[in-house]
Structure 1
Amino acid sequence: MHPSSHTKKDFPYWLVAIVLLTIAMWGRILTDELYTDVADKLVRGVGVTILVTLIGFTFASLIGLALAVATLSRFIVLRQLARLYIEIMRGIPILVLLLYIAFVVAPGLVYAWNWIAESLGFDPIRTRDFPLLWRAVMALTLAYSAFIAEVFRAGLLSVDPGQVEAAKALGLSGWYRFRHIIFPQAIRTIMPPMGNDFVAMIKDSSLVSVLGVYDITQIGKVTAAGNFRYFETYNVVALYYLMMTVTLSLLLGKVEQKMRAKYP
């Protein structure tokens, strides 16, 4: 029997283990005063984590799609510029890029804005007026746009060129070809890695804590520094991230199945 047939029949014991672990942890949270206090404090950071991820991933996807199209352009300048951007962003660690955006690019943007504002008669702004939260979102957006660009590029290249040429021969517009021929076939290749990148961004959003942004990780650091109960505090921090990532992975799996049924 082919190995894949065994995989399809595998019962998700790993999921059962995670559910039991989660139930045990929540039982501790509901019955232990220290765990309850930590969990209540960390809830305030969940919204920030979700906000950073959703906004960052949305803009990263838009930029990534534009970059993917540029890498496949017939114009060599566009191809080379897109490739340069992608390689630079993929080659710099996200933490380093986060610090660079926050403390180099952001002040530079403020300086440029003030130069333009003064010439137009507007009041200048201070660097501190550029919130650290949005600097973090900008960094994650730029970092992930390069990875997502490669996902889109692979998906677009997976479509049979003969079908695209046939559509051109029929006189179909570029948008019509993309919407009805290219995208429905490319989405099958794009969806799984895009889902993985989304889950990865949730975890990488914890890096914004180095800027003092009050996400789950930062609140956990502050809480642990105050109560000196690192074991209990980081247990809850890990639980929150695990619940979000596993739940999202399961939902994305369902969406992927529906997409495959819609675009077989």
Structure 2
Amino acid sequence: MNLHFDQIVPSIPYILDGIWVTLQYTLLSALFGFLWGIVLSLFKISNVKSLNWFAVAYTSVFRGTPLILSLALVYFAVPQLTGYDITALEAGVLTFGFNSAAYISETIRGGIMAVDKGQREAALSLGVPYRRMMIDIILPQAFKNILPAMVNESIALLKDSALVSTIGALDLMRRASIVGAGKFLYFEPLILVAIIYYLMVMGLTLVARGLERRMRRSD
């Protein structure tokens, strides 16, 4: 095998700088997607038909279209339609956040519906406002039920963030491609990036397992 890992050693710091870019997209998108996902899940269980219809239609659209298409539409079409020169970071966070929220909303909705109805009825009978009941009683219990699914969504989001390389963001994938093109060696930098992604995913998995154990002990 004609491998030359020694030739990419000087470029390793340049590739590693892409970790922060990848994490920046992932963390911002995860936060935005989680918050918007909560709103959508509440819309789905709402008695207001217009809100329910909107949330269901929203989820259907993002489930039925490729993520890379959504990213291209946001990054290339927004300037054409609005005149606003959107940055790669803004386009990535908006696209991944909106897309992730569609899936998260279903997960949260399932978690909320899994909470014993008796607790909801008891809270309402005691005069607890709906908003306070959801924040203090229902959502904390739902979160325990959906934690594994949320971790899976976060891992998927971390890996999907590599798509921002298609709009010029200097993430791990983009930097590996630049190094590969400059040295005419693609296998070595891509393998390095694969190892980095694997380590980040394993780190996220270990953190999630630790959080699960703590939550089980607190029951």
**What is the TM-score of this pair, normalised by structure 1?**
0.78
- Do the aligned partners of 2:75 and 2:87 also contact (CA within 8 Å) in 1? no
Equivalent of residue 101 in structure 1, options 52, 58, 74: 74
- Name the amino acid aligned to 2:154: F
Distance 1:37 1:224 in 2: 13
1:222 matched residue in structure 2: 178
1:81 equivalent in structure 2: 54
Q: For residue 58 of structure 1, report the CA deviation from its aligned partner.
A: 0.5
2:17 partner SS: helix
Q: Distance in 2 between matches of 1:210 and 1:41?
A: 19
CA contact (8 A) 1:106 1:135 kept: no
Establish whether residue 254 from structure 1 lines up as the match of residue 210 from structure 2.
Answer: yes
Q: Distance in 1 between matches of 2:136 and 2:130?
A: 10
Mark the runs of 5 or more structure 2 residues left unpaired by the alignment.
Answer: none
- Matched with 1:244 is 200
Match of 1:167 in 2: 123
CA distance in 1 between counterparts of 2:64 and 2:9 reads 41
Instruction: Give the Cα separation in 2 of the matches to 1:54 and 1:73.
Output: 29
Change (3 A) 1:185 1:238: same
Superimposed CA distance per residue, residues 178-218 of structure 1 (whole angstroms, 9 cap, x where no aligned partner): 23321232122121111111111110000000001100000
Distance 1:57 1:169 in 2: 35
| Greater than 4 Å deviation, 4+ residue runs | none
Q: Percent identity?
A: 32
Higher mean Cα deviation, 216-225 or 163-172? 163-172
Counting matched residue pairs gives 216
**AA at the equivalent of 2:196:** Y
Q: Is the 1:38–1:236 contact (alpha carbons within 8 Å) kept by the matching residues of 2?
A: no
Match of 1:48 in 2: 21
Q: 1:106 Cα shift?
A: 4.3
CA contact (8 A) 1:52 1:205 kept: yes
| Distance in 2 (alpha carbons) for counterparts of 1:178 and 1:130 | 35
Moved more, 33-42 or 93-102: 33-42
**Matches of 1:153 and 1:215, distance apart in 2:** 33
Matched with 2:111 is 155
Alignment equivalent of 1:213, drawn from 156, 169, 189? 169
Q: Does 1:34 align with 2:7?
A: yes
Q: Which has the larger radius of gyration?
A: 1
Residue in 2 that maps onto 1:123: none
Deviation at 1:174, TM superposition (A): 1.9
Equivalent-residue separation in structure 1 for 2:101 and 2:135 (angstroms) = 22
Question: Structure 2 vs 1, CA of residues 65 and 235 (structure 1 numbering), >3 Å: closer, same or farther?
Answer: same
Q: Whole-Å Cα distance in 1 between the matches of residues 184 and 211 of structure 2?
A: 42
Paired amino acid for 1:200: A
Counterpart secondary structure, 1:74: coil
